[in-house]
Homo-oligomer: A and B are copies of this chain.
Amino acid sequence: MSHNTFGHLFRVTTWGESHGPAIGCVVDGCPPMIPLTEADIQPWLDQRKPGGSRFVTQRKESDTARILSGVFDDGDGPVTTGTPISIMIENEDQRSKDYGEIARAYRPGHADYAYQAKYGVRDHRGGGRSSARETASRVAAGAVARKVLGEGVWIRAGVVQIGAHRIAPDQVDFDAVSGNPLFAASAEVVPAWEAYLDGIRKAGSSVGAVVALEVTGVPAGWGAPIYGKLDSELASALMSINAAKGVEIGAGFDSAGLTGEENADEMRLDLNNQPVFLSNKAGGVLGGISTGQPVTARVAFKPTSSILTMRQTVTRDGEETDLRTKGRHDPCVALRAVPVVEAMAACVLADAFLRHRAQVG
């Protein structure tokens, strides 16, 4: 894995800055003969794109994906050819504005200081490379990964906590996610959450959240010990999403409070004499290998760092100053992370599928 590439066999390289001419990705290692057009990608990008509701940034981007390579129509419709799939998304709303202040001052909670400390230079326009805009490329790649996995693997995510408001585990309903602008995994919570988030938004503040992930249809046997464990790679992929601060698999941090009796998922045979588990504390992964149960994970996101409240900071010239971050921002960055979480899971699983097929046939 290099810095801007992830995956072993299904490999995704992304490029581009928030306010450059375009962003994009190159998906390498995709199997051939998979039908693929821009129409397979666009719906997922539309989920993530800005401007969709008052709860997300008002930046205007159509996020139109264009496939530049790797697909060929030999008469039966476009299919992948096994060669790299280059996807480009042009930036349309690089609003011209005065970046003078944030060019100098480090926005607290942002990557500004860290980039400057590392590279001695940073593209400060909208966060440059560290902008969440980069995640559009991931969503595009994830759309390709879904095609590799096929319809048997069903990947769903939704917000299960926002600030102090939580959806109880037994109330999580992924079917509700697409029906509300908060990506909430429960229809019931939406009115209260909207009111809460409106308050946050109007205050120029922001709030953190937790996104839950569930993948069904993963057969037993994917993933690989010891340093290619499925849960390890999910953790890496999900933690790489902007603002992610924690990842847990299955019972996660709650496992620490359990006894061995409570934690061990017992097994029985189903009507077809196939092994089944009677619970899923493991989150579908044991020893880094999928068990056939749903793969479940949760990702914690910190609040959007860009807030209107004045905060103390310093400048690259070594002066103390106070800064409020004006401009267009998401009051809860985790909302638009939901399709990104799904996309990253899709890419990790497509990669695990190909690697399993390689080793075991």
List of B residues within 8 angstroms of A283 by Cβ: 245
Asked whether, in the complex, the Cβ of A3 is within 8 Å of the Cβ of B32, the reply is no
| Distance between Cα atoms of A124 and B318 in the complex (Å) | 51
Contact with B along A58-91 (1 / 0, CB 8 A): 0000000000111010100001011111101000
Asked whether, in the complex, the Cβ of B301 is within 8 Å of the Cβ of A256, the reply is yes
Of the residues B287, B301, B304, B356, contact of A115 by C-beta under 8 Å: B287
Q: Is A216 an interface residue (CB 8 A)?
A: no
Q: Is A195 an interface residue (CB 8 A)?
A: no
List of B residues within 8 angstroms of A186 by Cβ: none
Distance from A59 Cβ to chain B, minimum over Cβ atoms (Å): 18
What number of copies of this chain does the assembly contain?
4
Of the residues B119, B130, B246, contact of A249 by C-beta under 8 Å: B246
Number of interface residues of A (CB under 8 A): 156
Q: Is A176 an interface residue (CB 8 A)?
A: no
Q: Is A163 an interface residue (CB 8 A)?
A: yes
23 contacts across the A-B interface (CB closer than 8 A): A1-B227, A13-B84, A15-B84, A17-B72, A20-B69, A32-B120, A32-B121, A79-B121, A81-B128, A109-B281, A110-B286, A111-B287, A115-B287, A205-B259, A207-B258, A226-B240, A227-B240, A245-B249, A246-B249, A246-B252, A258-B302, A264-B307, A355-B358
